[in-house]
Chain A
């Protein structure tokens, strides 16, 4: 079955991604990965992450995908040896020195999308250096993927959801010029979301997000080996929601039970959680004006995510929740969680940590207890109910 590969910016997100249905996660250490602003993983965290994932029969890939300057090479070989020692499943690399060292150490290698690989001959070149899997450039079309698979039989990883670089990945140093931060060493300042002056109307070139819900079946059919979700900087709620949606979609495709209603429902949820439009981008056609934004836009996040489940007291039917956003008695909410279907529930009572009844939970991170008549697993989440699956068509 095609792998569902999730991003994780820290250990909590990694656990959530795996529990909500990802088959594998990709993470970054404190050094050498392109998301320098994510919390990222210490060496001990990586060891714990691998142990957690392997206990579930799942995998961890570690991004070591900066473009190295000479001084950044100090300690790289030792770091790769450590990754080998703690049994990570592969490293994601873009610079050829990373490939050479990882191969020498015996690590499986995934070529990062930063290497901008869009043709079978480049794949052959990297295969000769020991690369096993390829994250194709996000510009790869359906025909590109088919041809590459046919010519190389390589394991192919394709992005299916999340933010897009406007640039070909690895081919942009706009951050270097505008902020002094090196975009190929983790400092990308998302310049493609800035507004530029011209002698006419301001120039913008920000891409809408990627969303491949409509083409999952086709991508499975043409031999894509791994479906990759973008977003190591994203929140736990985003990770849980996106992974859960794609887990259900992929499983329903494989079971031949996917309906148009399912697709519509999950698309609505995916759009809502990202708060940005998402489209298929390059897969079937060249992106035109409809695949980009042309106005400066405020990205105001919604307050759908109400709380995370810490514990459930079966005897008293009480769920312990850490609040994320305001909620009150009478709100219609939904619980989502690992290995469960969404459940709708109307909040009937709220108690604070001292057992006092309260009407409203106002403070993020406050601990409250709700009377809920069904069992909820740890890491379940409570969100506002926005969409009714039976009414989406």
Chain B
């Protein structure tokens, strides 16, 4: 059973019991003031002491200077098992920390050479889910300490702007957050907080088949999902609509003229 390799974001502390029963022990807490696109975030003081040594702090937003200053003020973070972050400005700040450092630089880390360089600074890299299964397999089998995003709404866009608020204000509408939008038969769930707006592609990304690859961790984002649905998906019992993103659908590297 590979559930001991799963990193899962927590929406509700009450879900932890159910997850433990499944053998999942590595919990990821989106940190309040350091996340975007996630409805449920936590202050460090809200995270139970008894699970801190097996839990990770999650910071997924691009930080400005104030964000960096505020990170420096965080206390007790070394009591956690590790940290998962997007902004490279975190790297110099945690250089001497002993906990596990995991880089999740969204949409980057699509080739082995870049991942190899980042692994000089961190313990693991969660690679991009914008690449194909073949590319993913090649990376995982070539490098140690690679982790994979395997389940959840995939982030398709992150804006610093308050796009739902601006739309509602302009049209004098009651703010609907999250909001579902659609074009060309593609749906997106969008969610806004004070740090910006995120677009997630619908339906959720199901890359659980990637668990046949021997990697460091499998990352699950449970935002906007009921934990029962997540468990059901993990057990292969769900009828929920999902898709495999770009695993079997290579995107076009569009070039004119000669190409490499």
Question: DSSP class of A's interface residues: helix, strand, loop or mixed?
Answer: loop
B100-139: which residues lie under 8 A (CB-CB) from chain A?
A: 106-108, 110-114, 117-118, 128, 130-131, 135, 138-139
Are B256 and A39 in contact, CB atoms less than 8 angstroms apart?
A: yes
Complex Cα spacing A172 to B135, Å: 20
Complex Cα spacing A166 to B164, Å: 13
Are A168 and B88 in contact, CB atoms less than 8 angstroms apart?
A: no
Complex Cα spacing A270 to B163, Å: 26
Query: Which residues of A have CB within 8 Å of B169?
Result: 288-289
- Point out which of B131, B155, B167, B251 has the most chain A C-beta atoms below 10 A from its C-beta: B251
- Contact partner, B253, options A69, A128, A171, A195, Cβ 8 Å: A69
Are B93 and A205 in contact, CB atoms less than 8 angstroms apart?
A: no
Are A120 and B254 in contact, CB atoms less than 8 angstroms apart?
A: no
Complex Cα spacing A109 to B172, Å: 47
A168-209: which residues lie under 8 A (CB-CB) from chain B?
A: 168, 170-174, 176-178, 180-182, 184-187, 194-201, 203-205, 207
A129-181: which residues lie under 8 A (CB-CB) from chain B?
A: 137, 139-141, 143-144, 147-148, 151, 166-168, 170-174, 176-178, 180-181
Contact with A along B168-194 (1 / 0, CB 8 A): 011101001001111110101000000
- Contact partner, B157, options A118, A121, A171, Cβ 8 Å: A171
- Verify if A125 is at the interface (C-beta below 8 Å from B): yes
Name the distance in Å between B133's Cβ and chain A's nearest Cβ: 13
Query: Which residues of B have CB within 8 Å of A117?
Result: 88
Complex Cα spacing A180 to B184, Å: 12
A196's closest neighbor in chain B, by CB?
B181
Complex Cα spacing A156 to B256, Å: 31
- Verify if A82 is at the interface (C-beta below 8 Å from B): no
A201's closest neighbor in chain B, by CB?
B171
Are A37 and B256 in contact, CB atoms less than 8 angstroms apart?
A: yes
Are B179 and A181 in contact, CB atoms less than 8 angstroms apart?
A: no
Query: Which residues of B have CB within 8 Å of A122?
Result: 63, 87-89
- Verify if B21 is at the interface (C-beta below 8 Å from A): no
- Verify if B144 is at the interface (C-beta below 8 Å from A): no
Name the distance in Å between B203's Cβ and chain A's nearest Cβ: 12
- Verify if A67 is at the interface (C-beta below 8 Å from B): yes
Are A30 and B256 in contact, CB atoms less than 8 angstroms apart?
A: yes
- Verify if B246 is at the interface (C-beta below 8 Å from A): yes
- Verify if B248 is at the interface (C-beta below 8 Å from A): no
- Verify if A340 is at the interface (C-beta below 8 Å from B): no
Complex Cα spacing A392 to B176, Å: 43
Q: What is the size category of the interface that chain B forms with chain A?
A: 35 or more
- Verify if A286 is at the interface (C-beta below 8 Å from B): yes
Query: Which residues of A have CB within 8 Å of B160?
Result: 139, 168, 282
- Point out which of B87, B107, B169, B201 has the most chain A C-beta atoms below 10 A from its C-beta: B107
Complex Cα spacing A292 to B164, Å: 12
> Which of B11-19, B64-72, B212-220 is the interface stretch?
B64-72
- Verify if A226 is at the interface (C-beta below 8 Å from B): no
A283-316: which residues lie under 8 A (CB-CB) from chain B?
A: 286-289, 291-292, 294
Knowing A72-B253, A186-B254, the reply to whether A167 touches B62 (Cβ < 8 A) is no
- Contact partner, A166, options B163, B186, B188, B256, Cβ 8 Å: B163
Are B260 and A72 in contact, CB atoms less than 8 angstroms apart?
A: yes
Complex Cα spacing A145 to B163, Å: 24
Query: Which residues of B have CB within 8 Å of A204?
Result: 167
- Verify if A256 is at the interface (C-beta below 8 Å from B): no
Are B181 and A197 in contact, CB atoms less than 8 angstroms apart?
A: yes
Query: Which residues of B have CB within 8 Å of A345?
Result: none
Name the distance in Å between B177's Cβ and chain A's nearest Cβ: 12
Are A294 and B182 in contact, CB atoms less than 8 angstroms apart?
A: no
Complex Cα spacing A119 to B91, Å: 12
Complex Cα spacing A42 to B256, Å: 11
- Verify if A31 is at the interface (C-beta below 8 Å from B): yes
Complex Cα spacing A268 to B89, Å: 40
- Verify if A385 is at the interface (C-beta below 8 Å from B): no
Query: Which residues of B have CB within 8 Å of A76?
Result: 260
Name the distance in Å between A162's Cβ and chain B's nearest Cβ: 17
Complex Cα spacing A173 to B160, Å: 15
- Verify if B48 is at the interface (C-beta below 8 Å from A): no
Name the distance in Å between B213's Cβ and chain A's nearest Cβ: 16
Are A172 and B158 in contact, CB atoms less than 8 angstroms apart?
A: yes
B147-166: which residues lie under 8 A (CB-CB) from chain A?
A: 155-163, 166
- Verify if A124 is at the interface (C-beta below 8 Å from B): yes
Which B residues are within 8 Å of any A CB, using their own CB? 62-65, 67-68, 87-93, 106-108, 110-114, 117-118, 128, 130-131, 135, 138-139, 155-163, 166-167, 169-171, 173, 176, 179-184, 186, 188, 196, 199, 201, 246, 249, 251-260
| A/B interface sample: 14 pairs, CB < 8 A | A32-B260, A73-B113, A97-B113, A121-B92, A122-B88, A128-B92, A166-B159, A168-B158, A176-B246, A197-B182, A198-B182, A201-B171, A292-B170, A294-B166
Lowest 4 A-B CB distances belong to which pairs?
A: A121-B89, A122-B89, A196-B181, A182-B251
Contacts A68-B113, A172-B107 supplied; 5 other A-B pairs, CB < 8 Å: A95-B108, A125-B89, A180-B249, A180-B251, A196-B182
